[in-house]
Amino acid sequence: MNPYTQTGVLILCVVIATLSLQTKHSLGSSKKQDKEAIQGIVREFVRAWNHDDANALVELFVKDGELDTPREAEAESRSAIRKLLTQDREELFQESSLKKDIRKIRFQGENRATVEGHYSLAGIEPGMGLVEVSVQGTYIFFLEKHHGAWFIKKCDIRQSDS
């Protein structure tokens, strides 16, 4: 191989290695940003619940989002989710305070993810068949990324057996 060809091959290898490292770094950075955005969804869900802000809660969902509650109530659109959350807040959870932690975030490709964790809801008024003043359980958010932003496609909330 002549010296010019060797130099060209060497330059090409350096360029490919540099691009590969930059791509790997940007993918890692993107994954980190996605993870932070998903953690932000959970924080915003808690903030909106604790401030009785049904509109902010609903905006976390895709338009055809779904919500399944421990009372086996289901809602399958933003308007149905707003109605269910508003009704539950007024009838059962007026003075409640929500806490959530994240146990696991899993990515299924670039535009889908799940986040799993535990929640506790304190300050529940006894009544409507409830004998406890706090509940806890697990939740799973099935998330989709649209135009660079993460939204809840489905929220599945389950109460722990006491």
Domains of the chain, CATH where assigned: 3-159 (3.10.450.50)
pLDDT at 135: 82
Q: For every one of its 162 residues, what pLDDT tens digit does the chain have, with 9 covering 90 and above?
A: 555 555 555 464 444 544 444 444 344 458 899 999 999 999 999 999 999 999 999 999 999 999 998 878 899 999 999 999 888 888 777 778 889 999 999 999 999 999 999 999 887 766 655 555 678 899 999 999 999 999 999 999 998 875
CA proximity to 44, closest of 105, 100, 86? 100
| Beta bridge mates, 74 | 68
Q: Give CA angle at 53 (47, 59), nearest 5°.
A: 90
Distance (Å, rounded) from C-alpha 59 to C-alpha 45? 10
- Whole-prediction pTM: 0.76
Give the pair of three-digit tokens for residue 162: 């006491």
Q: Are strands 134-146 and 149-159 parallel, antiparallel or unpaired?
A: antiparallel
Give the bridge partners for 137, in sequence order. Answer: 119, 159
SS3 content of the chain, % helix, strand, coil (to 5): 40, 35, 20
Calculate the alpha carbon distances from 37 to 41, 114, 152 in Å: 6, 12, 12
Integer Cα distance of 111 and 93 in angstroms: 33
Strands 97-107 vs 112-122: parallel, antiparallel or unpaired: antiparallel
Judged by DSSP in three states, 55 sits in: helix
3-class state of residue 102 by DSSP: strand
